[in-house]
Structure 1
Amino acid sequence: MSTYVVTGAASGIGLVTAEILSGRGHRVLGVDLRGSDIDADLATGAGRTAMVEQITARTDGRIDAIVACAGLSSPTTDTVRVNYYGAVATLGGLRPLLAGSPAPRAVAVVSMASIFPPDERLLALLLDGADEESAVARAAELAADERAPQIYGTTKRALSLWLRSRAPEPAWAGAGIPLNAVAPGIIETPMTTDLIATEEAKTALLKTVPMPLNGIAKPEVVGNLIAWLTSAENTHLCGQVVFVDGGSDAVLRGASTW
């Protein structure tokens, strides 16, 4: 039995992933704002610190896998705080707890929206190590006008690029920890309820996010992939962003790859 930490475990992909892992006999500690094993607000520094402290205490300082799934899709500043800073703090803060595992591994959940044009200024602030409040201030500017939808995709692109650069480093690959990400397309979760509420809405959304292979997916599709990526069978995937999007990436980017 392995011990997993899954953030965003109260609903959507995080909840289903936690259920899949538990069903396979693993111990799962879920983290969410409320309604999970550990309540923590990953939009705040205090919440991130409290999460690490509570997990450390409840596991005697040893876990086997991290699934950084918590995220927001709203065009708000909290999306920057949770999707990027919360995810990075989760992966970085819990990484030392993987040291005692015979098969440590970690996965982040990004999005196919990471391939859409980002706000370059926000992206640079996130990746260049600017203080969090500077990035949040830029997000507030975007949220005030028609550029608001760029916030989500920009945070997911930033997390993808952060992960790509960190995965081969001594702290991750050098310590035997496969660090990878999944990039879902449109998934039937509470986050997408309004977007796919009618056939007309689905048709319009699929024009932006084409999914020629089997269309809109259930969260189990992503959860099963995460379960494999965080299994002991995954020994050599390093810094990969695996698009589980029914073909959106292939349609929109063609021959382009990371």
Structure 2
Amino acid sequence: MSRTYVITGAASGIGRTAAEILTARGERVIGVDLQGVDVSGDLSTPEGRLAAAEEAAGLAGGTVDAVIACAGLSIPKPITASVNFFGMTEFLEAIRPALTRSEAPRVALVSSMASMQPVVPSLVDALLADDEAAVDEIATRMAEDPRTANVIYPSSKRAISRWVRREAPTERWAGAGIPLNAVAPGTVVTPMTKELLASDEGRALTDAYVPMPLNSHQGPESIAHLLIWLTSIENSHCAGQTIYCDGGADAVLRGEDVWSWNDATMRETFAEITAGLQD
């Protein structure tokens, strides 16, 4: 039996690729984007998000099996923060009642390797506090300064990965049987990155920030297939994760040890034990 998917950002890039793969498999796909798909919606405004979610749920007959949230921007303007964060979180909250009617509801979002780059903490905090007025004020100031304008994008992606981790184990999501996860791509060859990757200088800059030793830059299908698995019935227990599908960039940037931050207490305890053995 086919499942009903709602995909934001379905007109291009990763969203379009995911929609094409699912449609070819016989699944029902309801696309959401500015134009050219089933639901024309502006995810940069609260009214647009709510209207798009309501229309998508209506087209689905009131029951949605999975949402893949791909819609996003990377321009150095405040609208990037609004679309990348609220365009996902508020849309998902609005369509969540339709998800709860599914026998196997699933949600996956697109974050980014940029979430590990330097961010402006005040913008991340405002996003996570759902304070869109403060977000607009902070992002507007950031956009006016060339030193911070390009930090709007990584700040929005850091916030979305933190939101997924915060919300996934709650009663509203895990308690309702809805796995909530994100995927963090490396450099994906899409219309969003086409101009940047067109020059030697742009490619060198990109690779300095996102080194990808495995197969270099990736096609959108590499992310689409992972998003599809995360929203499949087979994913019964993966929740709250941002999965780095990035050609090894995470491993290069963070190194081999991402666990020892939590070892201090046991180190002190073990020191006490060994000291007692020596007495």
Range into which the TM-score falls when normalised by the shorter chain:
over 0.9
Aligned length: 257
Q: 1:134 aligned to 2:140?
A: no
> In the aligned structure 1, how far is the partner of 2:129 from the partner of 2:173?
20
SS in 2 for 1:149: helix
Distance 1:174 1:218 in 2: 35
Q: How does 1:213-252 map to 2 (within 5 A)?
A: 213-252=214-253
Q: Is the 8 A contact 2:14 2:221 kept in 1?
A: yes
Question: Could you tell me which residue of structure 2 aligns to residue 256 of structure 1?
Answer: 258
Task: Assess if the C-alpha contact under 8 Å between 2:183 and 2:242 holds in 1.
Answer: yes
TM alignment of 1:1-258, pairs within 5 A:
1-129=2-130, 131-145=131-145, 146-254=147-255, 255-256=257-258
Q: Does the CA contact (< 8 Å) of 2:54 and 2:94 recur in 1? A: no
Unaligned runs of 5+ in 2: 262-279
Runs of 4+ aligned residues of structure 1 deviating over 3 Å after TM superposition are none
CA distance in 1, matches of 2:109, 2:21: 17
Give 1:200 deviation, angstroms: 4.2
Change (3 A) 1:52 1:204: closer
- Offset at residue 64 of structure 1 (A): 0.1
> How far apart are 1:121 and its partner, in Å?
1.0
Does the residue aligned with 2:7 lie in a helix, a strand or coil?
strand
Q: Helix, strand or coil for the counterpart of 2:162?
A: helix
Superposed displacement of residue 195, structure 1: 1.1
| Cα distance per residue 1:5-54 (max 9 Å; x no partner) | 00000000010011111111100000001111110000011111111221
Taking the aligned partners of 1:95 and 1:77, their CA distance within structure 2 comes to 26
Q: Indicate the structure (1 or 2) with the bigger Cα radius of gyration.
A: 2
- Cα RMSD (Å): 1.2
TM-score by length of 1: 0.97
Taking the aligned partners of 2:14 and 2:93, their CA distance within structure 1 comes to 21
Structure 1 counterpart of 2:132, one-letter code: E
What is the deviation of 1:83?
0.4
Q: Does structure 1 retain, via aligned residues, the 8 Å contact 2:185–2:246? A: yes
Q: Unaligned 5+ residue runs, structure 1?
A: none
> Could you tell me how far apart the structure 2 residues matched to 1:55 and 1:241 are?
25
TM-score, normalised by the number of residues in structure 2: 0.90
